[in-house]
Structure 1
């Protein structure tokens, strides 16, 4: 759907300019028509500048998680489309206007600003990934819009001095629009994936293998590389994240890697790293990926980009000087002069803001933390050290979404205006976003996730090491792909079996015998019921930390199923959610006085009172209550304390989260980076770096002599170094 957005501004702009004259003649009086003719272009130019400021703000805000992320996404979409529409309408109006209709000579000076606005601010280059694939259409738009702007420039330009004042803005506008196309093309799937295969020198696979035969030293570790570079302590995490981002470009491009076994440690995080540092590195790495796909930040990483940015800024300052000199010699209306200075000031502000934002970005931190000379070293010990220290306070992902299905059903479905939402067909949208809450991702949850992933990898290593040598895959050496795949398919069955539960006979129907979305709904309902039932019976100190973690993960997985279904394996989860909501309304009627504790108590103790299900109903409410009762009875039978029960439930949810992360394609992860990113994305990348992935296979090196391959961290983007 979004791929047609590019044609919307052009088509609607020409349609608008065609009908507006006739419509205004019939609908409005002569006075209104005169006011519209006088202020039409002024209003559009000012509105175009205002939309640039909005894009500048939302482009910065939409990479952050939180309760406002959905509203930011809406503003981003609207402003992204409206910005192109307004500038195109203004250029179309100029194209069709007659010289005698325009009494304002400053129009010739405003025209190139419209072209400058089409280039957009640095904080947003694409609204969605599909924009990157449409870079060729944007290039065609550049040709057309530049042609229209030049035509209007020549058509209405009577003041030669004013013409010359506008030339620097024309130069900056063409550069800005060209920058946008350059970034879109560079972030397209073909170019992005190809960037990992580019060779920057003569180090081909043959020459590297030759050097490997004569080399007796082991590959340089990353810590040794940073020590040789004299990298500041606060900047090491930025460098680690940057190099991991560069090495994992093939995975971000939906490609699979086969890595030489002796280089494996260079691609993975140490298993001794803390949860805080691991999530911090993953956050920085995803920040690099977001900037690459959705912003212009990467343009300033090259010398060409810095030169073009400098030309734009200098051109704008030159236009300010020449316009100030020119305008003093002519008697232009003061309001038009104010608009002209507003456009000039806005252009300078956007460029300066872009420069400062880049100077404070993670990209710059990588450069500042390496003192390459005495001047740089002095700067690094003062200003750079302070900047890096401020950036180093990142703690990884900060918030996660929550959605309680039963809570939502009871609050919204029984309200008087739910029928209105249903008629307007926005009930699902309201439920997904307006009733989604956000909570902080606390250190305890990060530690729990990180510890679970490390334990899973250790279990994989132990099973593999204990296997008979003849069963180890000869093609992949010490890497057992089938074993790892089997472990990643676990959805809670391993946890239950580890507790000594007869899994096959009692609980298999709730995990392995149903599709994944069905299993999420069953365990979500059971977790809700047990959570509020235990809160009524015990104090929070008795329930322990695992109770809170279970509820957080349960509501997060429910949020993914409801609002981000493409990130989960395919199923009919939306149908089951709808039918479950309907059955709950039938069970409770329109009672409005019950709280969550009362709802949980009623569902647990009145299961036999469920009304007969409809023939084609896919509701899981009754089965979810059954699962909760079975878990409750099991605890009483095994004489567990509440904390042990919640530890088991938390680990079941964690296995479901790991399963979902391993099955989600990176295209869907990247899509939701523009909404602030998801916890699932952070977990998926953390799994990649800890070795829990089907996308990477560890292979033996090709050298028959067994000499280690030479590893050059400076040349690491070359696929020949690590792609077998």
Structure 2
């Protein structure tokens, strides 16, 4: 009886498991799988187009994982779907249409051309993959339409759209690669190497600042010039200077749009009445600075005199007013937006001179392809097909519904992309430059209204505008789950180390920006110091400077962070505290936890070698657990720090002892609470500037896809100003950092 029951259960379960497998082997099963993949890929495209650029203002790990999954799956789903179409034991006249639509998806998303910088370096691989798939697609179309079927009418239009979109993405990947950067930014580097010799400058009215905005971009050389160069090469008469004839000559000043020309424009749109806060002019300034920032990625350096000229613009131009830090920060935000778009989207190619005509041509062919595909559906539903999956209650074929969904998705994608492109920051710069270049536009009220309306539209914030936070004392006892954080999983995912628990990010306070930019403008010394200049300014250098002369800068950061956390609990804010004290408290605690976050989660942005930073942090976590062995509350930790800080020397101490000793010095030796928080606020404002000039440009570019970092904005500003940090103290046998791209 028992054997009979087991046999019956197996027989009942067998159809449930084997039935799906048998169904997929049938013609209708394979057709159903292909249609599901087509619909799934269409929604992947919609998602990438709508949220591709949102990475620059979202640091959530889940969101980045979803974007990565959609970006990666689009290629694999395409390959698998094409394989199913090829192996299908039947012919379906809509297969070539679906195949072309799937191929178009690979290059359709203007808002995300690359997920990482490594994708840009593999542009040749992408081109060959597209070429191979395109050849296979042509064979598929020829096989299906060899009998001159009516459904082949719309395929040529789709192939043209496919070619245009694939070419755009291939060129965007190539332009953002290191090789192309070195080649095509050389003309800007040569121009800027002598631009500072233009004479007297006025950073308020931008006189003398002939930074390039538009005009130096590569343009195609006409047939006559190519023939002339060929003849000269054959005769051996070509001069070495002609090697740059494929670029626009920069000696023709009339074709160049510079910052000086934008500020000198007499049109109402850019006047003090039409642009009182200089937001339109600053768009062009951000674009010009973005081109200078690309030189850093291409490995070109500028003379120190050129950096001094830019520092003069920042200090006496952008920061000339009391609230000038807002304008300076806005300029850098837009500059990094252009940098993000250059590396990770197709905008740099779309807005090249002459490429907008291709966008118009693409729009025309999209319209024709949609019209022709609609006629295909009309023809298709009039004919019986032995390999149709079925019909809807209204009598429509499921294949027709699937194709209709793809067409609707494609229309939505194109409409969204034309909207995003039309109101992008790149489009705004193009409109303003055209306005500066054409006198007739400056006399046309309607054109001015159109440009002003376009520039007022802000599609999204330039970055997350948050300060990440980390509290060493509150997180030192944290232990991650060993289910995912172990040696086996280390091969597949990033590991969370002990003590690596991030606090809730906060919105970047205006007080923090104001304090940091005030410190930058003050410029205590020729080179940035790790807080010692602020101590000298507050007459506390003799007592506290020992904490700035430790073995590594990472130890300095952790010691001052622990001391700041100690003061935060020993000297909390009260109702009687002055506004100045509250401001200093906010600046000190926010920046202290932010720089500590960089130690725990972004060591490649700090002065020390990343491995040194991780080693010092891991060792500090172990020392903290020994120091706070029986402590369970913050009150117990503070009490332990008070009891174990006296009678200790600077040598042989752990960073916990040193942090406790510094915290007690601040709390006990300085009687004025307002002065304590002022010292800490000035120290951290100087420290965040000190860590900003990182030589790892690649790390900053990668952080643009993770919501952005406050330190990246400071890094870009300090690069333009040519401000560097003093030589840091290095630990013994420290690894030398490479100037990586």
**TM bucket, shorter chain:** 0.7 to 0.9
Deviation readout 1:23-74 (Å, 9 max, x if unpaired): x99895423543641212111111211211222233121111x5x4433322
Deviation readout 1:533-570 (Å, 9 max, x if unpaired): 21178865474211111111111111111111111121
SS in 1 for 2:379: coil
Change over 3 Å in CA distance of 1:29–1:262 after alignment to 2: closer
Mapped pair 1:577 → 2:617: yes
Instruction: From 313, 337, 342, give the equivalent of 1:268.
Output: 313
Would the aligned equivalents of 1:276 and 1:396 in 2 still touch at CA under 8 Å?
Answer: no
Change over 3 Å in CA distance of 1:78–1:366 after alignment to 2: same
Change over 3 Å in CA distance of 1:433–1:159 after alignment to 2: farther
Residue of structure 1 in register with 2:413 after alignment: 350
Deviation readout 1:325-366 (Å, 9 max, x if unpaired): 232233365211121122222222222212111111111222
Would the aligned equivalents of 1:168 and 1:316 in 2 still touch at CA under 8 Å?
Answer: yes
Residue of structure 1 in register with 2:337 after alignment: 287
SS in 2 for 1:275: helix
Instruction: From 296, 299, 316, give the equivalent of 1:251.
Output: 296
Mapped pair 1:646 → 2:677: yes
Structure 2 matches for 1:88-487, cutoff 5 A? 88-95=79-86, 97-98=87-88, 101-157=89-145, 160-198=149-187, 219=208, 222=259, 225-228=262-265, 230=267, 232=270, 233=275, 234-258=279-303, 264=309, 268-269=313-314, 270=317, 271-273=319-321, 274-331=324-381, 334-369=397-432, 371=435, 372=438, 374=440, 377-391=444-458, 398-410=465-477, 412-413=478-479, 418-420=481-483, 422-423=485-486, 428-429=495-496, 435-456=502-523, 459-460=524-525, 484=526, 487=527
Distance in 2 (CA, whole Å) between partners of 1:252 and 1:267 is: 23
SS in 1 for 2:723: coil
Residue of structure 2 in register with 1:469 after alignment: none
SS in 1 for 2:112: coil
Distance in 2 (CA, whole Å) between partners of 1:358 and 1:494 is: 47
Would the aligned equivalents of 1:253 and 1:666 in 2 still touch at CA under 8 Å?
Answer: no
Instruction: From 78, 83, 89, give the equivalent of 1:87.
Output: 78
SS in 1 for 2:153: helix
Residue of structure 2 in register with 1:673 after alignment: 704
Distance in 2 (CA, whole Å) between partners of 1:432 and 1:52 is: 39
Mapped pair 1:494 → 2:525: no
Given the two structures, how large is their TM-score scaled by the length of structure 1? 0.76
Distance in 1 (CA, whole Å) between partners of 2:537 and 2:308 is: 34
Residue of structure 2 in register with 1:532 after alignment: 569
Change over 3 Å in CA distance of 1:209–1:661 after alignment to 2: closer
Distance in 2 (CA, whole Å) between partners of 1:299 and 1:47 is: 28
Distance in 2 (CA, whole Å) between partners of 1:252 and 1:447 is: 29
Residue of structure 1 in register with 2:656 after alignment: 621
Q: Which moved more, 1:532-541 or 1:516-525?
A: 532-541
TM superposition shift of 1:287: 0.8
Instruction: From 593, 597, 601, give the equivalent of 1:559.
Output: 597
Distance in 2 (CA, whole Å) between partners of 1:618 and 1:165 is: 77
Distance in 1 (CA, whole Å) between partners of 2:398 and 2:660 is: 69
Structure whose residues are more often helix by fraction: 1
Distance in 1 (CA, whole Å) between partners of 2:312 and 2:345 is: 26
Structure number with greater CO (CA < 8 Å, separation at least 6) is: 1
Change over 3 Å in CA distance of 1:138–1:540 after alignment to 2: farther
Distance in 2 (CA, whole Å) between partners of 1:537 and 1:328 is: 76
TM superposition shift of 1:249: 2.8
Change over 3 Å in CA distance of 1:388–1:631 after alignment to 2: same
TM superposition shift of 1:89: 1.7
Distance in 2 (CA, whole Å) between partners of 1:519 and 1:186 is: 41
Change over 3 Å in CA distance of 1:69–1:205 after alignment to 2: closer
Residue of structure 1 in register with 2:12 after alignment: none
Would the aligned equivalents of 1:183 and 1:296 in 2 still touch at CA under 8 Å?
Answer: yes
Which runs of 5 or more structure 2 residues have no equivalent in the other structure? 1-15, 200-206, 211-258, 389-396, 727-741
Instruction: From 2, 19, 22, give the equivalent of 1:30.
Output: 22
Distance in 2 (CA, whole Å) between partners of 1:90 and 1:404 is: 49
Deviation readout 1:162-194 (Å, 9 max, x if unpaired): 122122112111221121110111111121233
Distance in 1 (CA, whole Å) between partners of 2:417 and 2:695 is: 34
Distance in 2 (CA, whole Å) between partners of 1:408 and 1:102 is: 62
Given the two structures, how large is their TM-score scaled by the length of structure 2? 0.75
Deviation readout 1:173-231 (Å, 9 max, x if unpaired): 12211211101111111212332223899x9999x99999xxxxx84674564223535
Distance in 1 (CA, whole Å) between partners of 2:163 and 2:298 is: 30
Distance in 1 (CA, whole Å) between partners of 2:578 and 2:448 is: 47
Which runs of 5 or more structure 1 residues have no equivalent in the other structure? 1-23, 213-217, 461-483, 611-616, 696-724
TM superposition shift of 1:491: 0.6
SS in 2 for 1:400: strand
TM superposition shift of 1:526: 1.2
Change over 3 Å in CA distance of 1:29–1:668 after alignment to 2: closer
Distance in 1 (CA, whole Å) between partners of 2:402 and 2:39 is: 7
Would the aligned equivalents of 1:241 and 1:285 in 2 still touch at CA under 8 Å?
Answer: yes
Change over 3 Å in CA distance of 1:179–1:115 after alignment to 2: same
Structure 2 matches for 1:660-699, cutoff 5 A? 660-693=691-724
Residue of structure 1 in register with 2:237 after alignment: none
SS in 1 for 2:506: strand
Change over 3 Å in CA distance of 1:368–1:540 after alignment to 2: farther
Would the aligned equivalents of 1:575 and 1:618 in 2 still touch at CA under 8 Å?
Answer: no
Deviation readout 1:606-644 (Å, 9 max, x if unpaired): 43799xxxxxx9963233222212222331xxx3x2121
Would the aligned equivalents of 1:432 and 1:563 in 2 still touch at CA under 8 Å?
Answer: no
Instruction: Report the aligned-residue RMSD.
Output: 3.7
Change over 3 Å in CA distance of 1:39–1:145 after alignment to 2: same
Distance in 2 (CA, whole Å) between partners of 1:180 and 1:427 is: 30
Distance in 1 (CA, whole Å) between partners of 2:408 and 2:657 is: 64
